[in-house]
Amino acid sequence: MIEEFTQEQLDQFESDGFLIIEEGFIDDEAVETLRERFDLLFDGKYQTGIKPDEVNWVAGRDPENVTRQICNGWKGDDVIAAQVLGERLGRLGATLMGWPGSRMLQDNCIWKPPGAGTLGMHQDASYADYFDPSEMITVWVALDETQAGSGTIEYVGGSHKWPRVPPDRDSFHDPEDWLAPVRAAAPDGASTERTPVVVKPGGVAFHHGLCFHGSGRNEATVERRAVISHLMPASARFDPDHVDLIYSRYRRRDDMAMDESFFPVLWSEDGGRSPWLAALDGVFA
């Protein structure tokens, strides 16, 4: 498993705004265990007894051929938590961003079955004005082999150097033209060429919070599951003027500090990982 980046990988992330590692970020046993926890989560069975912050697909209520998403699955399952809150993951993400530490913003458990629709091109950080500094990196870990036609995530290289654009929530979930936002945002002369994430189960993709990305329809006959960590700097605090409909509920009155029970510090160069995470550290040892 990768422990450090090469200089070539660091340079590639700086240039492209993303870095894809085809296999081996997590091992086969961890992949299989996480798939089992996905089945339970999406069946509404929460090992901790706590419902995740967002459950955007419910069996029996929603169509089978739409993208399934759970946000902060780590609150519902300690095995998911052990993955998305891992110290190595936090250290590698912080390294790419040049941060002295990283903190969990939120996780995503994504399940895109055959026939599921598109996800509009967007910049993650456009949705992140409720904390400061408004910087993000995403660590996207595949639980299935991906291919270009299976609705995998696709990146526009170099787009993290473009201006930040306001979020367009109407063109996010299965829009008619999932590429329209990136065409509209591209500066004159900028390339909008896309790179699909093609990896083995256990492969990983890191992307900068301003890197445009999205995914096409899953036209294959395979599932596309991924467990995702959205990280912010360990120093992040709530913004006093902007709020999020869901996550600002964890903001205390007259105190902009981010409580480590809900936004834990994964890694910091001074060793300041949130102490309660130690209980999770042996899950994938």
Residue-by-residue DSSP string for 173-199: BS-S-TTHHHHHHPPTT----EEE---
Return the H-helix or E-strand segment holding 106: strand 101-112
Give the pLDDT confidence score for residue 37 in this predicted structure. 97
d(CA 134, CA 121): 19
pLDDT score of 228 more than 70:
yes
106-164 tens-digit pLDDT: 999 999 999 999 999 999 999 999 999 999 999 999 999 999 989 999 999 999 999 99
| Helix 87-97 with 7-16: angle, nearest 10 deg | 60
Picking from 14-28, 160-174, 265-279, which range would have the lowest pLDDT averaged per residue? 160-174
Give the pLDDT confidence score for residue 3 in this predicted structure. 95
Give the pLDDT confidence score for residue 217 in this predicted structure. 95
Give the pLDDT confidence score for residue 167 in this predicted structure. 84
Cβ neighbours, 10 Å, residue 186: 15
Average per-residue pLDDT in the chain? 96
**Domain range list for the chain:** 7-280
What percent of the chain stands above pLDDT 70? Answer: 100
pLDDT average, residue stretch 193-206:
98
pLDDT band at 285 (very low <50, low <70, confident <90, very high): low
pTM surpassing 0.75? yes
Give the pLDDT confidence score for residue 172 in this predicted structure. 79
pLDDT score of 10 more than 70:
yes
**Does CATH number 2.30.30.60 belong to domain 7-280?**
no
Q: Phi, psi (5° rounding) for residue 120?
A: -60, 145
Q: Is 12 exposed, middle or buried (0-12, 13-18, 19+ CB in 10 A)?
A: middle
pLDDT score of 171 more than 80:
no
